[in-house]
Amino acid sequence: MIFADRKDAGERLAKELAKSLEIEEVKKHALVLALPRGGLPIGAAIRDALKIPMDAFLVKKIGAPGYSELAMGALAMDGTRIINQDVLRMFNPSQSEVEQLTKNAQTQLHYQNKIYRKDRPISDVKNKIIILVDDGLATGATMRAAIAGIKKMSPKKIIVAVPVAATDTYHQIEKEVDEIVCLYSTDAFSSVGQWYNDFSQVTDEEADKFLKDSNSSMHS
Q: Tell me the pLDDT tens digit for each residue of 62-72.
A: 999 998 888 89
**pLDDT at residue 212, rounded to an integer:** 81
Q: CATH number of the domain that 89 lies in?
A: 3.30.1310
Find the domain containing 52 and state its range: 6-58+125-218
Query: Do 134 and 208 lie in a common domain?
Result: yes
What does the pLDDT average to over 8-33? Answer: 86
Query: Do 83 and 153 lie in a common domain?
Result: no
Query: Do 165 and 94 lie in a common domain?
Result: no
The answer as to whether 175 is a domain residue is yes
Query: Do 87 and 174 lie in a common domain?
Result: no
The answer as to whether 1 is a domain residue is no
Q: Which residues contact 50 (CB under 8 A, 6 or more apart)?
A: 14, 17, 18, 21, 23, 26, 27, 30, 32
Query: Do 141 and 210 lie in a common domain?
Result: yes
Query: Do 169 and 135 lie in a common domain?
Result: yes
The answer as to whether 101 is a domain residue is yes
Q: Which residues contact 133 (CB under 8 A, 6 or more apart)?
A: 10, 13, 32, 33, 34, 35, 39, 42, 43, 46, 160, 161, 162
Residues 118-157: tens digit of each pLDDT: 898 888 999 999 999 999 999 899 999 999 999 999 999 9
What does the pLDDT average to over 36-60? Answer: 94
Q: What is the pTM of this model?
A: 0.91
From 116, 138, 153, the end of a domain falls on 116
Query: Do 139 and 199 lie in a common domain?
Result: yes
Q: Looking at the predicted structure, is the pLDDT value of residue 99 above 90?
A: yes
Query: Do 130 and 193 lie in a common domain?
Result: yes
Query: Do 131 and 175 lie in a common domain?
Result: yes
Query: How many domains, in total, are found in the chain?
Result: 2
The answer as to whether 76 is a domain residue is yes
What is the overall mean pLDDT for the chain?
92
Query: Do 199 and 159 lie in a common domain?
Result: yes
**pLDDT at residue 28, rounded to an integer:** 75
Q: CATH number of the domain that 184 lies in?
A: 3.40.50.2020
The answer as to whether 82 is a domain residue is yes
Q: Are strands 179-186 and 157-166 parallel, antiparallel or unpaired?
A: parallel
Query: Do 53 and 65 lie in a common domain?
Result: no
